[in-house]
Amino acid sequence: MDLPWFVVGDFNEIMYGVEKKGGLPRDERRMELFRRVLEECQLYDVGYEGSWFTWERGNLPETNIRERLDRGVANAAWINLFQAVRVQHLVHSMSDHCPLLINTRSYDERSYSFKFEA
């Protein structure tokens, strides 16, 4: 796969058991298969900022389940083009999934002041 690829969204699977809190444990074979598919496609998780979990169900502590089902994965060609990529997990309100904000711009850490000239 020579072209740059970036895939983002709800994969409906987690990579590791620590990406789930509450409810029954995920099937280890399904997680292994998901990791293997990503590896065979040479897609790598680009990381994230914000809350650990991207999906939540249940309002009561005893029924609450949270998982990291949503993520961004990319191949090396895409990562080389967008080395400063940031996937932000935003706060969800209407959906059981949190929105993901993808930012590919690199930022200069210096602060700039706004100047208006008339």
Q: What is the CATH number of the domain that holds 25?
A: 3.60.10.10
Amino acid identity, residue 27?
A: D
Tell me if 97 is assigned to some domain. Answer: yes
| Predicted structure pTM score | 0.84
Q: What is the CA radius of gyration of the chain?
A: 18
Tell me if 16 is assigned to some domain. Answer: yes
Would you say 68 and 16 are in contact if contact means Cβ atoms under 8 Å apart? no
Tell me if 118 is assigned to some domain. Answer: no
Tell me if 111 is assigned to some domain. Answer: no
Per this entry, what is the length of the chain?
Answer: 118
Tell me if 48 is assigned to some domain. Answer: yes
Helix (H, G, I), strand (E, B) or coil at 67: strand
Please tell me the distance from the alpha carbon of residue 64 to that of residue 16, in angstroms, as a whole number: 19
pLDDT one digit per residue (tens) for the chain, 118 residues: 689 999 999 999 999 999 999 999 999 999 999 999 999 999 999 999 999 999 999 888 889 999 999 999 999 999 999 999 999 999 988 899 999 999 998 765 555 565 666 5
Tell me if 83 is assigned to some domain. Answer: yes
Number of domains observed in the structure of the chain: 1
Q: Which domain holds residue 35?
A: 6-103
